Amino acid sequence: MSTKHQTWGWMLAVDFFFAGMGGAMLVIASVIDLFIAPNQVSLLGNIVGPLCMCVGCGFLILELGRPFQAWRVFMNPKAILTFGAWMMTIAIISGFVYASFAINHSLIFWREWDFLRQLLAVVNIITGLVVATYPGVLLGRHKGRPFWVGPGIMGLFLLSSVVTGLALHFLCAMILPIENSVLSSLPKLIAALLLLQGLLWAGYLWIKATGTTAAETTSAQRWINGDLAKGFKISFILIGTLVPMIIVLIPVSIFQGIAALLVLFGGVMMRMQTVTSGKDRTFLPGELQYRSRLPQGDEKFLKKAWM
């Protein structure tokens, strides 16, 4: 029987990547503006942040299907998906308006309204944190998915969003630099967060493999020595974490740019593998027996009847 309606695909992983990274970019720019130094973030970075969330929304709509009915996601106030959709919408609008303050043009008549800029920065921090954390919250609530369940996945996704957001801000500052930008001091912070990311993932897998249910242990073993181990150890840990953690500290632009790109690659791979792990699930009593007795060849009819 077809299982597409039971699992999520690569487009959701891409949505998680772009949305989380974009939300973190809003938070980073706004924190720098409010608490460190105003107007010290590249205009390109400020625009790319909400643009990334728009890309994420596009992939989410495609993954959920029925794009012309996507508006329905905003209509259920009790659903966590509705809450996330509204937060992302507010973050996108606030982010683009906030970015406009760096554009020196007569049409931007609000450019001198510092109070509005600071208010938008606060909105960006709140909504950006929600958007950056939301994918982990969404996954952690799935009690039937042993690798996802629990608050740990939320922290891992938030940390990855911050690291990838810093890396993309750094790349934007290299492409469209501004004078005396505080972003030039980001390499050490990126390296420190990459080290923390590696340690937290090691701890997460250790907890899943040793101190939880049998289903969680089995799911974690796929990352340690199973079919997901190669992708995790090589693509995410080695290429996406350890290598950029080292070369980002080399004070040469080309090396730091490559390190930032590798961080983004690692962020994508982590989400791809995490979404793939959702195929492991805890079945209800008798569910497998029920599925084994369903007629073969009528999957499309049954799927249409259930939806």
Model confidence pLDDT, tens digit, residues 94-120: 999 999 888 877 788 888 888 988 999
Residue 291 confidence class, pLDDT cut points 50, 70, 90: low
| Contact between 277 and 16 (Cβ < 8 Å) | no
Q: Give the whole-angstrom CA distance, residue 26 versus residue 21.
A: 9
Structure tokens at 79: 């659903």
pLDDT of residue 143 exceeding 90: no
CA 281, chain centre distance (Å): 22
Q: Can you say how many angstroms the Cα of residue 88 is from the centroid of all Cα atoms in its chain? A: 12
| Banded pLDDT at 121 (limits 50, 70, 90) | very high
Is 80 exceeded by the pLDDT of residue 296? no
Is residue 287 scored above 50 in pLDDT?
A: yes
Contact of 158 with 167, CB cutoff 8 Å:
no
pLDDT greater than 70 at residue 25? yes
Name the DSSP class of 232: I
Q: Which helix (H) or strand (E) holds 61?
A: helix 43-64
The count of other CB atoms within 10 Å of the CB of residue 102 is 19
Q: Which SS3 state, helix, strand or coil, does residue 160 take?
A: helix
Residue with tokens 């997460």: 204
Give yes or no for a contact between 25 and 49, defined as CB atoms under 8 angstroms apart.
Answer: yes
**pLDDT tens for each residue of 123-132:** 999 999 999 9
Tell me the C-alpha distance between 263 and 248, whole Å. 10
| pLDDT tens column, 42-90 | 888 899 999 999 998 887 777 766 666 666 666 666 677 777 788 889 9
Residue 174 pLDDT > 70, yes or no?
A: yes
Residue 139 is predicted with a pLDDT of 87
Q: What is d(CA 219, CA 205) in angstroms, rounded to the nearest whole number?
A: 9
- pLDDT value of residue 112: 82
Q: What percent of the chain has pLDDT over 90?
A: 46
Integer CA distances (angstroms), 44 to 62, 175, 233, 263, 306, in order: 27, 8, 33, 19, 46
- For 248, residues 6+ apart whose C-beta sits below 8 A from its C-beta are 187, 190, 191, 194, 255, 256, 259, 260, 263
Tokens of 183: 């972003």
